[in-house]
Structure 1
Amino acid sequence: MKFPHLFQPMQVGHLTLKNRIIMGSMHTGLEDQDQGFEKLALFYGERARQGLDLIVTGGFGPNPYALGMPEHAQHSTLYLPEQVDQHRLITEAVHREGGHILLQILHVGRYDHGSGGVSPSSVLSKLSNRSSRELSHAQIEQIIADYIHCAQLAREAGYDGVEIMGGEGYLINQFLAPFTNFREDQWGGDANGRSRFALRIAQGIRQAIPDNFVLSFRLSLMDLVEDGGHWNEVLQLAGQLEAAGVDLFNTSVGWHEARVPTVAMVVPRAAFSWAAEQLKQAVSVPVAASNRINTPQVADALIAAGHADMVAMARPFLADPAFVSKAIAGDDQAINTCIACNQSCLDRIFTRQQVSCLVNPRACHEWEWPQDKTAKPLAIAVLGTGPAGLACAREAAERGHTVTMFENRARMGGQLNLAKTIPGKEEMGETLRYFQHEITRLGIAVKLATRPSMEELQGFDHVVVATGVVPRRSGIAGENHAKVIDYVEAIRSPGQIGARVAVVGAGPLGFDVAELLSHQSTADEGSVQAYQQEWGVDPQRQHRGGVKKTEKAGSPREIWLLQRSKSLPGSQLPTTTGWIRRSRLKAKAARMFNDVHYIQIDDNGLHLSIRGERRALSVDHIVVCAGQEAHDPWSAKLQAHNIAHTVIGGARDAHKIDAARAIREGAELGRKL
């Protein structure tokens, strides 16, 4: 077997599992919908059918206010007996496929975006910009009882156990950390007082359900906030929880408000498995490592090295429901890898939208996206091999159509070839690798450096125009000056760019270019150590929360990042990763200006006014990142020849085009053809 350590049996409580993989908890948005349980049953059932043996649900609240969304209490909670039958839809679907499933019990505490929520002490939440309400002793006792009652209902609903969410800055974690617990009564003070809430919940559940019921605890190994928990306290709590009857420690790192990225693409793979290993050495029950584990190679290696007994992966099962079955077969190149972009998952959760996946738009839409073969195979031509064209070709060929792709360049990939060269976006190369694998597997013909004739295209039943975008010109006087280049040229040949650079446009493209040009290559580039130094992670555990001062980053260039809009530079960046990108550029002393009026470009550089003050930037180059325009040289000709065709992706509409929209449009068309 290619991954022998990953596919060893594992004993967790009363369960003997076939492999060491846990599908970790993640909210999908389906929990909040009418008929959401039917949809969740399909979602989880498909993944169990593909070899997953242990699944943890998204967090369900033990009372109507636990998730801060009382309007969804009938869906996102489990506290009423009449809710049990809905949950049985999920457990029965997973059990039919031979898998096991735990219900995660979650109380968000002060992470309530609506009211500010409750917490051990009244504290302002940076996420909601509201202060929480301090819990009374009676309210604390009631919440403990709610957890126990929820676990009893979960057993009645057929779950194989529960997971107590004790990390990521939620209510239990808020009790554990001095950062949010200033109490001086029995629920605060020293580490014993601050851990009492967590222990009482675990003890209460185990006493209420002593046998044949897995009790997992999601334990924060490091909070990554100042005045968070100390490592000695984490170890002490772990020992107490094990004595209380916890069967599994499913580890986590970081609070949602932490200024250290933990699940984004900039984080090295398995960046925190070393912390899981430290816990593993201190307890006798299984320990699962988590965070940025996205391939079977990484998972198998960290288990082989003794870092953990198991691995917890959540979003990789959005990207590919067949992750386990492909890994068992040794066909890891067929896995559609999670690239940790956050665009269609975490970004949507934080805006209360239904989750999906950039690389797999079928995720969380399984009920409306069947995988049956077409009854009428067509001959389809796809013009363009960027993300939209690749997704369309793969989906159409999967359905049984004959697909030929045409690309006028010498290599396929389109904008993916640019994206994967940006520091922190290297994982985009995995998406291109996956599509290349699928082209071979499905027998898709690819004709590179080829522009088909109308006569050739008339031989197809349908033509898909997926020719993407071209850079938009700046419109600045003197834009044809030798100092001016567009973002495509800058990304392809950064070595030609001088030491002083003005980047026109501070949207996603501008940040991509600025990050590339400010990047300083080092010997340990991409390593866990380099990541720890950049973001102030303390591997020696000397500081509370596991954070220390960051180390200054250098830049080989002086960079001015400019935008016409009065909004702050980077305000268009995605919710959960935008702050990361802004922080990285600020650390490299990039100068960012908004409310810019461009006057002209000449031998002296870029003339402009910033908030009414006229200036001249003496720069070597001006890189134009002023957006994109649709590139469709085909539609008019196809229409004139009465050839059936559809335009997708950036070629259809370049406004705010990104890989998520391009892949979704391509896959949806491929399914419907």
Structure 2
Amino acid sequence: MPTPTRYPHLFSPLDLGFTRLKNRVLMGSMHTGLEEAEDGFPRMAAYYAERVRGGVGMIITGGIPPNEEGGFGAKLSTPEVADQHRLITGAVHAADADVKICMQILHMGALAPNPACVAPSAVKSRIAPFTPQALDEAGIEKQLADFARCAALARQAGYDGVEIIGSAGYLLSTFLVEKTNLRTDAWGGSFGHRMRFPVEVVRRVRAVVGPDFILIFRISAMDMLEGGLAWDEIVTLARAVEAAGANILSTHFCWHEAPVPTIATMVPRAAFASVTGRLRRAVTVPLITSNRINMPEVAESVLARGDADLVSMARPMLADPEWVNKAREGREDEINTCIGCNQACLDHTFGGYKQVSCLVNPRACNETLLNYGPTPARKRLAVVGAGPAGLAYATVAAQRGHAVTLFDSAAEIGGQFNLAKRIPGKEEFFETLRYYRRMIDVHGIDLRLGTRVDAAALQAGGFDEVIVATGITPRRPEIEGIQHAKVVSYIDVILGRKPVGQRVAIMGAGGIGFDVAELITHAGPSGATDIDVFAREWGIDFANHPRGGVTGVLPQVASNGRSVMLLQRKTDPVGKTLGRTTGWTHRMTLARRGVRLVNGVEYLKVDDAGLHVRVFGEPQLLEVDTLIVCAGQLPLRTLYDDLVAAGVKATLVGGAFEASELDAKRAIDQASRLAAVV
């Protein structure tokens, strides 16, 4: 097939000498939770094979510990386990013999959820449950031997290569950094001694796998951590690892405990690719870059600038397994884009090792369980409400062959997503709506916007079933003065329909409350769309690359000067229910803008003087100009009740089914599963 002119770099092959990659698209490593599941191997085989059929050039698996102390659950330390891995490699190569699959060897070191965890020194990470045991000489030799054995077994299992992760605060990176390596022997002290362990791991692995096996080393090109690696140390390590036998370097950015976001939707696209480009000029082997690269034009521009030889995308391959085929065929507008929300993927991984999936694609990691096959009996379906649940149901049902009519009283599709896309840092939600608009056309859905329908009209329409996705209505708490002119709904604020004063209280500190606080305190360009703004907000110095990549000066976030209090009834810390991997970023941003987070609040009344409350029992008057109500939602079920009363078969989905803690992940998942069996 000739190289497409639109993305010539993305679809050019890469010659590694002993083998060739068919394109520059890499499905990066992401732990899925299937690694520990009883039926994990056949499910992983299906998961990876679907991405192979979708066009990727190379896959790196989720992390596999080389020994018991290196992590949790699944390992690769015996020939018997290697035979199980053949289910994965066999499925990948059967789908496309030209695609390469590499197994990531992940030794979590001090981050392992294991009381037997080990590290160069007994330094506990603030995000880890256990203090690691300091390795002695015999322990170091054991770890080196275990890495080599694991790599040899990976080759035996049919993998085309391995990736050794030497970043993120895992074992190898803790040898490199002085704050976690307190040793004074030959494995610590000078940088030459501190890098000895990761370099020796690479040398041992290359010795056992031979020259015709891909060996990738994942290097921390910017730790995002005070006391992290200096640039000259990164270059020295990269060159030493290359000399020891690595034939690809994969750049990573940040330790897990670093106070800088690198994967959230608030991070600009390809924000860190220039760091990879800088390292690429210092070595001779190909380099992989990653982080917030989610559309073909972004990937192509990274490669065209010379910032990398390969582009790694993990979450985008969860969102759309056909990403590469769609890019190659000029169907970019059909890509179900990763929005960087983390809600169904990384929040699951770091929230207790739940199985990973994807908010915009519930089939991710469920390929053997959830499928959208052709319907044996075509039905006429009415879907009322074009929010996330209604859109998901309509597109899956139409894809399966049903005749779908989609109604919404608004002038555009999207429902609550039309609010989310207006929040600075959530601009990616525009992509999801673009995807659904295109799917409506592709699957021939009869879209009727600006149309409010009732039970009688739907009954007269001759539909076999009606799906009620009418969403929610904001809950208005019954306190004295709630009708006061200074009280406004979050919907009116986000849509700009009501003015907001200088002194503001927000009633409710769930996700919507945080979004509203972000919106009404924001000033200037969004950091999510401007790398320079993002760097200033989080104290990153891309130009000079100081030690760890951070300035060490407390970052300042631009504010419009409003005085804002974010209030919640619960006595738990404000923001506790936010996503595990993104919630801290929202709390930190608002704190830097001076937003007060207040818990233990009892609302008494609103009057001309302001909002009267008790905070942990103490009466207070909050002298505010505006009170924004974000006090939860109630399901809109009037239409459903009318349909049931009229004897029409009806199904509730999304917010109309369950409105508490408004949750697009749950709404899309529920709607997709129901549409898969209608």
Q: TM-score range by the shorter chain?
A: over 0.9
Structure 1: unaligned runs, 5 residues or longer: none
User: Does residue 586 in structure 1 map to residue 587 in structure 2?
Assistant: no
2:569 is matched with which residue?
564
2:492–2:498 contact (8 Å) kept in structure 1: no
Paired positions, count = 667
User: Does residue 123 in structure 1 map to residue 123 in structure 2?
Assistant: yes
Instruction: Quote how far apart the aligned CAs of 1:196 are.
Output: 0.5
Report matched runs for 1:206-221 at 5 Å.
206-221=206-221
Matched position secondary structure for 2:68: coil
User: 1:124 corresponds to which letter in structure 2?
Assistant: K
Structure 2: unaligned runs, 5 residues or longer: none
User: Does residue 97 in structure 1 map to residue 95 in structure 2?
Assistant: yes
CA distance in 2, matches of 1:210, 1:592: 57
Report matched runs for 1:638-657 at 5 Å.
638-657=643-662
1:18 is matched with which residue?
22
Cα distance per residue 1:467-489 (max 9 Å; x no partner):
01110012221000000001111
1:389 is matched with which residue?
390
Cα distance per residue 1:18-72 (max 9 Å; x no partner):
11011100100011011211110100011111111200000101112211x2xx2
CA distance in 1, matches of 2:220, 2:9: 25
Report matched runs for 1:51-66 at 5 Å.
51-66=55-70
CA distance in 1, matches of 2:426, 2:497: 16
2:363–2:371 contact (8 Å) kept in structure 1: no
Matched position secondary structure for 1:575: coil
CA distance in 2, matches of 1:616, 1:195: 59
1:265–1:339 contact (8 Å) kept in structure 2: yes
Cα distance per residue 1:317-343 (max 9 Å; x no partner):
000000011011011110000001000
1:484 is matched with which residue?
487
User: 1:291 corresponds to which letter in structure 2?
Assistant: N
Instruction: Quote how far apart the aligned CAs of 1:448 are.
Output: 1.1
Matched position secondary structure for 1:185: coil
Cα distance per residue 1:600-649 (max 9 Å; x no partner):
11111111122233221221110001111111121221112211110011
Report matched runs for 1:200-279 at 5 Å.
200-279=200-279
CA distance in 2, matches of 1:437, 1:277: 35
User: 1:670 corresponds to which letter in structure 2?
Assistant: A
Q: Pick closer, same or farther for the CA change 1:13–1:476 going to 2, 3 Å.
A: farther
User: 1:412 corresponds to which letter in structure 2?
Assistant: I
Match of 2:531 among 528, 531, 548: 528
CA distance in 1, matches of 2:643, 2:252: 54
2:77–2:150 contact (8 Å) kept in structure 1: yes
Instruction: Quote how far apart the aligned CAs of 1:14 are.
Output: 2.1
Cα distance per residue 1:130-178 (max 9 Å; x no partner):
3221111111111100010111111111110111011111100111111
User: 2:405 corresponds to which letter in structure 1?
Assistant: T
Instruction: Quote how far apart the aligned CAs of 1:542 are.
Output: 5.0
User: Does residue 468 in structure 1 map to residue 479 in structure 2?
Assistant: no
1:628 is matched with which residue?
633
CA distance in 2, matches of 1:129, 1:560: 33
User: Does residue 672 in structure 1 map to residue 672 in structure 2?
Assistant: no
CA distance in 1, matches of 2:592, 2:336: 33
CA distance in 1, matches of 2:49, 2:17: 22
1:319–1:337 contact (8 Å) kept in structure 2: yes
2:266–2:527 contact (8 Å) kept in structure 1: no
Matched position secondary structure for 1:124: coil
Cα distance per residue 1:441-483 (max 9 Å; x no partner):
1110111111234344220011000001110012221000000
Q: Pick closer, same or farther for the CA change 1:415–1:307 going to 2, 3 Å.
A: same
User: Does residue 605 in structure 1 map to residue 605 in structure 2?
Assistant: no
1:379–1:403 contact (8 Å) kept in structure 2: yes
Comparing 311-320 and 487-496, the one that deviates more: 487-496
Runs (4+) of structure 1 exceeding 6 A deviation are none
2:195 is matched with which residue?
195
Match of 1:517 among 508, 515, 520: 520
Matched position secondary structure for 2:69: coil
CA distance in 2, matches of 1:385, 1:476: 33
2:265–2:528 contact (8 Å) kept in structure 1: no
CA distance in 2, matches of 1:34, 1:381: 39
1:13–1:214 contact (8 Å) kept in structure 2: no
Matched position secondary structure for 1:101: strand
CA distance in 2, matches of 1:199, 1:128: 25
CA distance in 2, matches of 1:461, 1:494: 39
CA distance in 2, matches of 1:584, 1:207: 48
CA distance in 2, matches of 1:15, 1:48: 18
Instruction: Quote how far apart the aligned CAs of 1:307 are.
Output: 0.8
CA distance in 1, matches of 2:573, 2:407: 41
CA distance in 1, matches of 2:61, 2:527: 37
User: Does residue 618 in structure 1 map to residue 618 in structure 2?
Assistant: no
1:9 is matched with which residue?
13
Comparing 536-545 and 132-141, the one that deviates more: 536-545
2:433 is matched with which residue?
432
Report matched runs for 1:261-300 at 5 Å.
261-300=261-300
Cα distance per residue 1:168-205 (max 9 Å; x no partner):
11100111111211111111101111111111111111
Cα distance per residue 1:232-251 (max 9 Å; x no partner):
11100111111112110111
Instruction: Quote how far apart the aligned CAs of 1:539 are.
Output: 1.6
Q: TM-score, normalised by structure 2?
A: 0.97
Instruction: Quote how far apart the aligned CAs of 1:411 are.
Output: 1.7
Instruction: Quote how far apart the aligned CAs of 1:494 are.
Output: 7.0
CA distance in 2, matches of 1:573, 1:524: 20
Comparing 553-562 and 123-132, the one that deviates more: 123-132
Instruction: Quote how far apart the aligned CAs of 1:207 are.
Output: 1.5
2:381–2:403 contact (8 Å) kept in structure 1: yes
User: Does residue 176 in structure 1 map to residue 181 in structure 2?
Assistant: no
Q: Pick closer, same or farther for the CA change 1:116–1:125 going to 2, 3 Å.
A: farther
1:336–1:434 contact (8 Å) kept in structure 2: yes
Matched position secondary structure for 1:367: coil
Match of 1:80 among 60, 78, 81: 78
Instruction: Quote how far apart the aligned CAs of 1:97 are.
Output: 1.6
CA distance in 2, matches of 1:640, 1:267: 49
User: 2:219 corresponds to which letter in structure 1?
Assistant: L
Cα distance per residue 1:240-267 (max 9 Å; x no partner):
1111121101111001111000000010
Comparing 512-521 and 636-645, the one that deviates more: 636-645
User: Does residue 32 in structure 1 map to residue 36 in structure 2?
Assistant: yes
CA distance in 1, matches of 2:294, 2:391: 22
Instruction: Quote how far apart the aligned CAs of 1:129 are.
Output: 4.5
2:488–2:498 contact (8 Å) kept in structure 1: no
User: 2:100 corresponds to which letter in structure 1?
Assistant: H
Report matched runs for 1:325-344 at 5 Å.
325-344=325-344
Instruction: Quote how far apart the aligned CAs of 1:211 are.
Output: 2.4
Q: Pick closer, same or farther for the CA change 1:339–1:484 going to 2, 3 Å.
A: same
CA distance in 1, matches of 2:538, 2:468: 43
2:664 is matched with which residue?
659
Sequence identity (%): 47
Matched position secondary structure for 1:94: helix
Instruction: Quote how far apart the aligned CAs of 1:541 are.
Output: 4.1
Comparing 9-18 and 47-56, the one that deviates more: 9-18
Q: Pick closer, same or farther for the CA change 1:337–1:523 going to 2, 3 Å.
A: closer
CA distance in 2, matches of 1:168, 1:535: 18
Q: Pick closer, same or farther for the CA change 1:635–1:495 going to 2, 3 Å.
A: closer
1:533–1:550 contact (8 Å) kept in structure 2: no
